[in-house]
């Protein structure tokens, strides 16, 4: 974005006039969100004011470059190009390097901007060295995109970008202590073309609803000099040139601090020097205002710029000149569009105090116009996807196999090199084959129809060059044939007498179960348009939904890997691509349009069944009759060989020639560096049997068979999953993309609940700030059991008898979901004289309150292990927020009434209630949880047990969905669409994958809040009450000072208990709180009374005595049992590294090094870890030297002994 000098000057003058004209208006504003309230004096009436604002890898880049020359390394069609300049002289100084590249960059920018407006940015690749460890690391710094044209001062713009890069590098050095610049490798120039406005005119009329406000001035011109025409004055402007000059002089703004044209990045400097705040807004495609740039500096003067940008653009700026808003309301809402009134209201968010509280919550969120409610939305969330109750008749299952081309070790990663690089590429993954199977429901689609359209009925295998391209072409061809099948529209067949009689007698819709008479619903005869057969009697509304699918799902297992090979081929034509991204490299799902209103949709079955295919096949193999598709593909005689997941020597096959081998490689060749293990003897015998029974001649044929088997097993696993879903809950998961989305709909359908949508932004922020995750903390970092007469323990008679126990709460969140949960009637409470201690847990009315709570010193010793009311805040000397349990007073703490009530009952003092939300609550989810629990208990095999467990756990995930974290990425294969998106004001960056495919990264324009997050908030808070209740009212009550907490993790507690025999205590006193069904049946504490019941506690070690426990920090612990079994945990570390390369003694040594204040390298431990990673959807195997052990923990204060800890706020820490 560029702002011309005369226009910006004129803006400041207009603003000065505005300030002088508003008289006694009082401005109340927020530095965080710049929500503004305008208040008149008491003698004047309130007036309405509103302001709606709205790789490829580095190595490949270097290989493409020529030293000292500007070389193009990638492009997308004719609209986006990337150039690179390699560091010719190997300069190790940014200032010097930047001094010799501008000439080449300016030449290219000038040439590119001759015919079109452009957006460009810079990207620098460098390498840094850790002076203490000699570790080297690649780093890159980049600038934001700047809009420019042929008249732009590129020298000035580049200088500003260089300063920005230097600033980023300075921040990196300040944060990464001990790192120094080792080399500057190259600088990239990324140029994106923005087409000029068609027709030659640069004047763009404003939307009528903006024009009617008469609150903006739009410069009218017929050439490209809109910024130079201020002296010609605007239509109907009351300023003449003389008056304008006088005001300009009066304003006193300093324009010498910025360049002209002015990039948006320089506004911060202008704000600082002129003591003003500047906010910028724009319009989306629906003419809805959203924030483009919001200042973080709170000043008395606020300048509002409305930036109007139309699709294929030149630049038009309009300036807000008066306090009239773009929509009529009571107040200005500059950052988040939250509504504030000038009078006291129930929300307590009014006036300056309310604004302060609002900004404290709002500043935590990224920009984006919040959409609470849109026209046509229902007031309630309820099940409405009745189309998903009918089975999708045709789906496709697919899988890929790759050749792993080895890469030479990096010189900085080789053994013996003192300067070690952290990450190294070991293999490049190249697709060698694909297999797919079209699964058809012949109860709906006849075999005759399938034959007519030549849909393959067997597994299709292709091995050879361009496999990804050929796969995509096959899917498009088959997808179009399926679309033609779905277009079949036969009239309804004549009903039998029985069918007609049942139809006439029907009183309720067989889908939504609504009564026809009571709801004025018309009943209709639903029929299959492909066969013409009558299906059921339903209402008109449901009948409109029950159409043939508009897509064909293609299922992969672990799409996170396979997707990369497909994505690079999505640019095969200009048709639309839709992605649901987790990140720029990982997509939940994606689809490609292949015909009008028909897509192929790629879905990951792993997001429904998060297990390896081998385990899923094993769970299914308990009943061979479940392998229906495999029997169709293979003969029943070889069923035992093909219903078991095979093995393949992936790393042995590093070239096409290896596939021509006429023998099965030796067992050693099946070794995998990704898991650091070889296959078992049994696996190898199985592979040899497959080779012999199927008369395989080459390794290529073996890979084809292996792929064919995988596709067949995947088809059977997911078809059984679909069958179970449809037979029990009458929903087909093939319509969904993830288990949480599917389970959430199952819950809504089964419970028939209607959840009220929140319409108040303040209420949404209030509830968002009440959400806190599970408590994870290391309380006492080391403990050892001391029990007499136990083999394997060295009993010390001079020390008290001590037992260690690791307890886990069964289905903690499921227990919360069985309780009263909010569902409707949300309102702010006016009378805050609320006594939460008198509100029953099962009350029909519940509360979420904002309170001040004091933590008396006399409780500190008793509560130190597990303080009440955890909160998200930064530990001392940290900038990262964590969930901490502290003994500090709580100010403006937002909490569920049950948690507050529990805390007060244990001695905490309620000081003040600031605000409160009241709602209706009941046990509306209990029936669904009870069903899943009952079905899981009665399940006859592991497959069904895991299914019902999934349906409970996944519901919670959907209740907690945070729409703010969603990112906006669009895959583009059309140059026209790319130009349109890059021209928009919310364009952020782009990533070129190929000449025909590019990703556009955007800032979010709007955020629609359509989730019942209050349910997730309540589940989280209530779940904590069960953990606190167990700790204080069961374990503490039983053992008093003789029990201490060692470690806790959401639903787990590890204790050290001074008692003669824990099992005797369990049998005599604690059994009512425990599920001991996992104990040996001959154990005297064994009981199945509470088997798998939510809320009861299990012994994680199944009665085996815990010998030793050590926790270095949360999620990093290990323990040993009396039979010397060792269990180790390390978050973020691969399982094989933990299993094969980390020992219990390693944890001990790191803790001892911490206690004895040894050098840094002794207090940390690294291991090489192998993994798969993609860069611009090019897949590599990599090795990383990763930090795996460290005793640094800032969630609690560590005492001098290095083992015991205190919660922050403890009175001992003030001494």
**DSSP labels, 218-263:** E---SSS-GGG-GGG--TT----HHHHHHHHHHH----TTS-SSEE
Residue keyed to tokens 């199945």? 1088
pLDDT at 13: 42
Q: Is 348 left (phi over 0), alpha (psi -120 to 50) or beta?
A: left
pLDDT at 248: 45
Helix (H, G, I), strand (E, B) or coil at 917: strand
pLDDT at 16: 41
- Decide if pLDDT at 788 tops 60: yes
Helix (H, G, I), strand (E, B) or coil at 799: coil
Cα angle 1058, 1063, 1069; round to 5: 85
Parallel/antiparallel/unpaired status of strands 394-406 and 551-556? parallel
- Decide if pLDDT at 1203 tops 80: yes
pLDDT at 329: 33
| Contact in structure between 985 and 309 (CB atoms under 8 Å) | yes
Closest CA to 886 of 859, 851, 912: 859
Please tell me which residue, 238 or 563, carries the higher pLDDT value: 563
- Decide if pLDDT at 324 tops 70: no
- Decide if pLDDT at 6 tops 60: no
Please, which pLDDT band fits residue 1007 given cuts at 50, 70 and 90?
confident
Lowest mean pLDDT among 182-186, 228-232, 265-269, 706-710: 228-232
Q: Which CATH architecture has domain 58-194?
A: 2-Layer Sandwich (3.30)
Mean pLDDT value across residues 50-60:
42
How far is residue 781 from each of residues 288, 840, 1047, 1144, measured CA to CA in Å?
54, 38, 8, 14
Q: What CA–CA distance (Å, rounded) separates 955 from 1094?
A: 15
Mean pLDDT value across residues 344-365:
55
CB-count exposure of residue 518 (10 Å: 0-12, 13-18, 19+): exposed
Mean pLDDT value across residues 789-807:
93
- Decide if pLDDT at 759 tops 70: yes
Mean pLDDT value across residues 154-181:
86
Q: What CA–CA distance (Å, rounded) separates 342 from 46?
A: 8
DSSP 890: E
Helix (H, G, I), strand (E, B) or coil at 143: coil
pLDDT at 360: 57
pLDDT at 1143: 96
CB-count exposure of residue 797 (10 Å: 0-12, 13-18, 19+): exposed
- Decide if pLDDT at 290 tops 70: no
Please, which pLDDT band fits residue 9 given cuts at 50, 70 and 90?
very low
Compute and round to an integer the Cα radius of gyration of the chain.
33
348-363 in b/e form (b: 16+ CB < 10 A) is bbbbeebbebbbebbe
pLDDT at 240: 43
Percentage of residues in the chain with pLDDT exceeding 90? 57
- What lies within 8 Å, CB to CB, of 51 at 6+ separation is 36, 304, 320, 325, 326, 332, 333, 334
- Decide if pLDDT at 30 tops 70: no
pLDDT at 416: 47
What count of other Cβ atoms lies within 10 Å of the Cβ of residue 453? 13
Please tell me which residue, 256 or 878, carries the higher pLDDT value: 878
- Decide if pLDDT at 81 tops 50: yes
What count of other Cβ atoms lies within 10 Å of the Cβ of residue 1129? 15
pLDDT at 234: 33
Lowest mean pLDDT among 677-686, 831-840, 1003-1012: 1003-1012
CB-count exposure of residue 344 (10 Å: 0-12, 13-18, 19+): exposed
Please, which pLDDT band fits residue 828 given cuts at 50, 70 and 90?
very high
- Decide if pLDDT at 381 tops 60: yes
**Sign of torsion, CA 129 133 134 135?**
negative
pLDDT at 1198: 96
pLDDT at 15: 42
DSSP 381: E
Lowest mean pLDDT among 130-134, 639-643, 1202-1206: 130-134
- Decide if pLDDT at 491 tops 50: yes
Tokens of 746: 């199952």
pLDDT at 186: 92
Percentage of residues in the chain with pLDDT exceeding 70? 79
pLDDT at 515: 87
- Decide if pLDDT at 37 tops 70: no
- Decide if pLDDT at 1063 tops 70: yes
pLDDT at 624: 85
Q: What does pLDDT average to over the chain?
A: 83
| Contact in structure between 88 and 68 (CB atoms under 8 Å) | yes
- Decide if pLDDT at 1174 tops 80: yes
Mean pLDDT value across residues 206-218:
62
957-972 in b/e form (b: 16+ CB < 10 A) is bbbbbeeeeeeebbbb
Please, which pLDDT band fits residue 210 given cuts at 50, 70 and 90?
low
Please, which pLDDT band fits residue 878 given cuts at 50, 70 and 90?
confident
Q: What CA–CA distance (Å, rounded) separates 227 from 221?
A: 10
Parallel/antiparallel/unpaired status of strands 276-283 and 301-308? parallel
Please, which pLDDT band fits residue 619 given cuts at 50, 70 and 90?
confident
- Decide if pLDDT at 350 tops 70: no
Please, which pLDDT band fits residue 294 given cuts at 50, 70 and 90?
low
Lowest mean pLDDT among 226-235, 331-340, 1147-1156: 226-235
pLDDT at 374: 62
Tokens of 727: 């037979």
- Decide if pLDDT at 856 tops 70: yes
pLDDT at 88: 78
**Going by CATH, does the domain composed of 391-487+548-607 fall within 3.30.420?**
yes
Q: What CA–CA distance (Å, rounded) separates 881 from 330?
A: 36
DSSP 854: E
Give the model confidence (pLDDT) of 91-102 as tens digits.
888 988 998 899
Give the model confidence (pLDDT) of 419-474 as tens digits.
556 788 999 999 999 999 999 999 999 999 999 999 999 999 999 999 999 999 99
Crossing angle of the two packed helices 699-728 and 613-620, in degrees rounded to 10: 60
Give the model confidence (pLDDT) of 221-269 as tens digits.
554 433 333 333 333 344 344 433 443 454 566 666 665 555 566 677 7
| Contact in structure between 531 and 490 (CB atoms under 8 Å) | yes
- Decide if pLDDT at 956 tops 80: yes
Please, which pLDDT band fits residue 218 given cuts at 50, 70 and 90?
low
pLDDT at 7: 43
Lowest mean pLDDT among 57-71, 114-128, 141-155, 1180-1194: 57-71
Q: What CA–CA distance (Å, rounded) separates 366 from 512?
A: 39
Please tell me which residue, 356 or 48, carries the higher pLDDT value: 356
Most confident of 483-497, 857-871, 1169-1183: 857-871
Lowest mean pLDDT among 266-280, 727-741, 780-794: 266-280
CB-count exposure of residue 537 (10 Å: 0-12, 13-18, 19+): buried
Tokens of 899: 């948690």
pLDDT at 929: 94
Q: What CA–CA distance (Å, rounded) separates 292 from 840?
A: 47
pLDDT at 57: 52
Task: Give me the residue spans of the domains in the chain.
Answer: 2-54+199-371, 58-194, 391-487+548-607, 613-731, 967-1008
């Amino acid at each position: 974005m560029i702002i011309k000098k005369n226009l910006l000057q004129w803006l400041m003058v207009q603003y000065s006039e505005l300030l002088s004209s508003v008289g006694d208006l009082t401005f109340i504003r927020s530095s965080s969100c710049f929500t503004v309230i305008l208040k008149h004096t008491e003698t004047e009436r309130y007036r309405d004011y509103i302001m709606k604002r709205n790789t490829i890898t580095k190595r490949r880049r270097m290989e493409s470059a020529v030293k000292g020359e500007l070389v193009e390394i990638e492009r997308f069609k004719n609209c986006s190009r990337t150039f690179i300049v390699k560091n010719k002289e190997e300069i190790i100084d940014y200032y010097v390097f930047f001094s010799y590249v501008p000439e080449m960059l300016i030449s290219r920018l000038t040439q590119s901007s001759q015919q079109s407006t452009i957006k460009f940015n810079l990207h620098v690749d460098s390498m840094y060295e850790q002076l203490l460890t000699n570790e080297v690391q690649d780093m890159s710094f980049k600038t934001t995109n700047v809009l420019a044209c042929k008249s732009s001062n590129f020298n000035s713009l580049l200088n500003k970008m260089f300063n920005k890069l230097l600033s980023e590098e300075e921040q990196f050095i300040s944060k990464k202590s001990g790192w120094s610049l080792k080399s500057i490798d190259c600088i990239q120039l990324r140029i994106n073309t923005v087409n000029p406005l068609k027709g030659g005119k640069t004047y763009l009329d404003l939307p009528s609803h903006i024009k009617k406000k008469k609150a903006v001035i739009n410069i009218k011109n017929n050439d490209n000099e809109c910024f130079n025409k201020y002296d010609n004055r605007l239509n109907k402007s009351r300023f003449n040139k003389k008056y304008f000059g006088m005001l300009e002089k009066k304003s006193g703004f300093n324009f010498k601090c910025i360049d002209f044209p002015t990039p948006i990045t320089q506004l911060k400097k202008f704000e600082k020097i002129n003591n003003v705040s500047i906010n910028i807004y724009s319009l989306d495609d629906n003419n809805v205002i959203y924030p483009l740039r919001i200042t973080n500096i709170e000043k008395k003067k606020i300048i509002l710029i409305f930036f109007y940008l139309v699709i294929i653009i030149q630049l038009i700026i309009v300036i807000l000149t008066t306090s009239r808003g773009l929509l009529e309301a009571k107040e200005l809402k500059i950052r988040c569009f939250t509504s504030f009134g000038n009078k006291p209201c129930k929300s307590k968010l009014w006036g300056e105090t309310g604004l302060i509280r609002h900004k404290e919550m709002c500043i935590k969120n990224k920009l984006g116009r919040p959409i609470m409610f849109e026209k046509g939305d229902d007031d309630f969330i309820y099940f409405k996807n009745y189309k998903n109750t009918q089975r999708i008749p045709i789906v496709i299952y697919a899988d890929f196999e790759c050749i792993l081309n080895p890469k030479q070790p990096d010189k900085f990663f080789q053994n013996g090199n003192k300067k070690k690089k952290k990450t190294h590429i070991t293999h490049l993954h190249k697709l060698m084959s694909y297999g797919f199977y079209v699964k058809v429901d012949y109860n709906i689609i006849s075999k005759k129809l399938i034959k007519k359209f030549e849909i393959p009925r067997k597994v299709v295998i292709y091995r050879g060059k361009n496999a990804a391209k050929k796969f995509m072409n096959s899917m498009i061809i088959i997808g179009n044939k399926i679309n033609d099948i779905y277009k079949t529209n036969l009239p309804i067949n004549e009903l039998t007498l029985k069918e007609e009689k049942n139809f006439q007698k029907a009183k309720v819709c067989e889908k939504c179960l609504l009564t026809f008479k009571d709801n004025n619903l018309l009943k209709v005869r639903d029929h299959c348009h492909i066969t013409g057969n009558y299906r059921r009697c339903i209402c008109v509304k449901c009948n409109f939904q029950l159409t043939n699918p508009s897509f064909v799902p293609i299922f992969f297992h672990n799409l996170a890997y396979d997707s990369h090979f497909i994505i690079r081929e999505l640019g095969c034509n200009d048709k639309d691509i839709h992605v649901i991204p987790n990140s720029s490299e990982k997509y939940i799902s994606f689809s490609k349009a292949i015909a009008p209103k028909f897509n192929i949709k790629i879905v990951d079955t792993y997001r429904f069944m998060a297990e390896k295919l081998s385990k899923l096949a094993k769970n299914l193999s308990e009943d061979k009759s479940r392998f229906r598709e495999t029997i169709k593909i293979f003969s029943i005689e070889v069923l035992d060989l093909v219903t078991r997941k095979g093995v393949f020597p992936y790393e042995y096959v590093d070239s096409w020639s290896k596939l021509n081998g006429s023998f099965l490689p030796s067992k050693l060749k099946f070794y995998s560096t990704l898991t650091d293990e070889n296959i078992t003897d049994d696996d190898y015998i199985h592979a040899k049997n497959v080779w012999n029974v199927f008369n395989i001649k080459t390794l290529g044929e073996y890979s084809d068979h292996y792929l064919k088997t995988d596709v067949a097993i995947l088809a059977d696993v997911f078809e059984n999953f679909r069958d179970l879903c449809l037979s029990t809950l009458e929903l087909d998961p093939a319509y969904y993309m993830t288990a949480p989305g599917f389970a959430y709909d199952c819950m809504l359908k089964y419970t028939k609940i209607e959840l009220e949508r929140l319409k108040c932004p303040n209420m949404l922020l209030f509830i968002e700030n009440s959400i806190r995750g599970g408590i994870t903390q290391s309380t006492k970092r080391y403990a050892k059991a001391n029990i007499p007469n136990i083999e394997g323990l060295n009993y010390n008679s001079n020390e008290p008898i001590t037992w260690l126990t690791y307890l886990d709460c069964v289905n903690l969140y499921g227990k919360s979901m069985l309780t009263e949960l909010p569902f409707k009637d949300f309102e702010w409470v006016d009378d805050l004289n609320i006594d939460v201690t008198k509100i029953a847990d099962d009350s029909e009315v519940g509360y979420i309150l904002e309170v001040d709570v004091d933590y008396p010193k006399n409780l500190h010793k008793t509560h130190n292990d597990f303080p009440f009311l955890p909160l998200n805040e930064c530990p001392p000397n940290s900038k990262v927020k964590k969930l901490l349990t502290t003994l500090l007073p709580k100010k403006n703490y937002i909490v569920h009434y049950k948690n507050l009530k529990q805390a007060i009952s244990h001695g905490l003092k309620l000081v003040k209630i600031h605000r409160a939300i009241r709602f209706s609550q009941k046990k509306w989810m209990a029936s669904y949880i009870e069903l899943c629990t009952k079905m899981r208990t009665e399940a006859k095999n592991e497959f069904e047990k895991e299914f019902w467990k999934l349906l409970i756990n996944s519901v919670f995930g959907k209740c907690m969905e945070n729409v703010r974290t969603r990112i906006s990425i669009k895959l583009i294969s059309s140059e026209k669409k790319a130009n349109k998106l890059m021209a928009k004001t919310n364009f952020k960056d782009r990533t070129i994958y190929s000449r025909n495919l590019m990703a556009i990264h955007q800032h979010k324009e709007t955020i629609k809040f359509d989730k019942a997050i209050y349910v997730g908030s309540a589940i989280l808070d209530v779940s904590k009450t069960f953990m606190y209740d167990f700790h204080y009212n069961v374990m503490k009550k039983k053992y008093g000072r003789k029990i201490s907490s060692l470690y806790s993790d959401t639903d787990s507690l590890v204790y050290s208990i001074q008692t003669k025999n824990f099992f005797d205590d369990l049998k005599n006193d604690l059994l009512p709180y425990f599920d001991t069904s996992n104990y040996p049946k001959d154990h005297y504490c064994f009981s199945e009374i509470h088997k798998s019941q939510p809320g009861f506690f299990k012994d994680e070690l199944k009665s085996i005595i815990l010998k030793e426990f050590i926790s270095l920090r949360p999620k990093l612990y290990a323990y040993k049992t009396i039979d010397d079994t060792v269990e180790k945990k390390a978050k973020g570390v691969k399982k094989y590294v933990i299993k094969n390369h980390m020992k219990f003694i390693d944890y001990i040594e790191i803790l001892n090094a911490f206690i004895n204040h040894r050098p840094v390298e002794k207090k940390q431990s690294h291991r090489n870890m192998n993994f798969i990673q993609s860069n611009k959807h090019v897949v590599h195997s990599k090795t990383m030297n990763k930090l795996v052990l460290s005793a640094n923990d800032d969630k609690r204060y560590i005492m001098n002994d290095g083992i015991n800890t205190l919660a922050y706020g403890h009175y001992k820490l003030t001494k």
